Amino acid sequence: MTKPALSYTIWFSQRTGSTLLSEALTSTGIAGNPAEWLHYQHNDPATMTPGKLEAIWRHGMTPNGIFGLKIQFEQRWVDAFRAMFDLSEHVSRADVWSTAFPNCAKHIYMTRRNKVRLAVSWWRAIVSGEWHRKAGHKPDEQDLADQYNYEAIRHLIQESMMCEAAIEDFFTASHINPLTIVYEDFILDYEGTVKQVLAFLNLPADNVAIAPPAFDKLADEAAEQWVQRYRADSQKGWENVRW
- Residues assigned a catalytic role: 36
CA angle in degrees (0–180, nearest 5) for 199-200-203: 45
Contacts of 77 (CB under 8 A, 6+ apart): 38, 45, 71
Q: Name 90's Cβ contacts closer than 8 Å, sequence gap at least 6.
A: none
Nearest one of 18, 10, 70 to 39, comparing CA atoms: 70
The total of other beta-carbon atoms located within 10 Å of residue 131's CB is: 15
8 Å CB contact between 80 and 65: no
Using alpha carbons, select from 154, 168, 75 the residue that is nearest to residue 122.
154
Beta bridge partners of 107: 9
How many Cβ atoms are within 10 Å of 135's Cβ, its own excluded? Answer: 13
Residues 6+ apart with CB under 8 A from 187: 17, 217
